[in-house]
Amino acid sequence: MNMIQALNSALDVMMERDPDVLVFGEDVGYFGGVFRVTEGLQKKHGLTRCFDAPLTEGGIIGAAIGMGAYGLKPVPEIQFADYILPAYDQLVSEAARLRYRSNGEFCAPVTVRTPYGGGIFGGQTHSQSPEAIFAHVTGLKTVIPSNPYDAKGLLIASIECDDPVIFLEPKRLYNGPFYGRPDEELKTWDKSGLASADVPTGHYEVPLGRASIVREGSEVTVLAYGTMVHVAEAGIRDSGVDAELIDLRSIVPLDIDAITASVRKTGRCVILHEASRFGGFGGELSALVQERCFDHLRSPIQRIAGYDMPYPHAFEWDYFPGPIRLAEALQSAVEYR
């Protein structure tokens, strides 16, 4: 399966298993979603289980929170993560706080799906990576898959979780892996040769908060998630450095044990994410590594990220943190004295 099919399969499996699961959002019903992730669900499960909503992100999330408080398991879609900000107050003030403020009497089992990230010439309003503003909010989980197998398993785990989850889908990976080289011939997931494209048709979970070691290594630890996992693989190959690559899968909850064990082994750490550098989640990762691995570090922690500016259209590949920038950081880390 490609990632679109894997996500569609996850929704279908959960709607079949649990009549309380429902899907709604802008164009997700009859049209099947702008990226076709919900295609066929309305026809199969009916108009009350998969339906269209008005163009009102705050209303979509507010309605979903109410549904969750009454025992349903809504999976609303925000068409692009760039447009989730009108719903931010509902997510922060209501969804994230409901369990605490009701002393456990109510919860908000809402899984908010939304495509995020660049690499598609979407410009500043269809390319942003807002994960850090959600990771900062106590009570929200933030999940980011990098391949079809994880996408399905993580989405199922998110829906089955009784806490609100922000499920960020790297849209550059919907149809195939992307290694950060726009001039390369693109491969679809079925032609990629990657085991992560082999997706079971039935129910399975990938646990939240458990990172994956994509590549073992001894010289540097690279921390990445989403599209940047594949960019990191390319940068490691280009650098010639024996780097260990960790796909975080979720940033809240965070698998700090896997990170700590790897950095204590390699003695070096490079963090890669697509979002702007200042205030990005890489800063939190850097602080956590510093606090837990200070006596093991042999070089300064480095962060490779998007620049602190609006996401450009014409100069997308200058902004995009590609494999060349990562390779330079890896070589700098191992050469540091």
In 10 A of CB 323, how many CB atoms? 21
Q: Which of 45, 126, 230, 273 is catalytic?
A: 126
DSSP letters, 281-294, are HHHHHHHHHHHHHG
Alpha-carbon span 84 to 166, nearest angstrom: 10
Per the CB < 8 A criterion, the answer to whether 110 and 134 are in contact is no
Q: What does each C-alpha distance from 73 to 8, 160, 298, 321 come to in angstroms?
A: 16, 8, 47, 36
DSSP letters, 273-325, are EEEESTTSHHHHHHHHHHHHHGGG-SS--EEEEE-SSPPPSTTHHHHS--HHH
Q: Is 270 helix (H, G, I), strand (E, B) or coil?
A: strand
126 catalytic per annotation: yes
DSSP state at residue 138: T
Cis amide bond preceding 115, omega within 30: no
In 10 A of CB 80, how many CB atoms? 19
DSSP bridge pairs for 222: 245, 270
In 10 A of CB 72, how many CB atoms? 17
Per the CB < 8 A criterion, the answer to whether 152 and 204 are in contact is yes
Alpha-carbon span 206 to 104, nearest angstrom: 26
**φ and ψ at residue 81, rounded to 5 degrees:** -60, -25
What amino acid positions are annotated as catalytic residues? 126
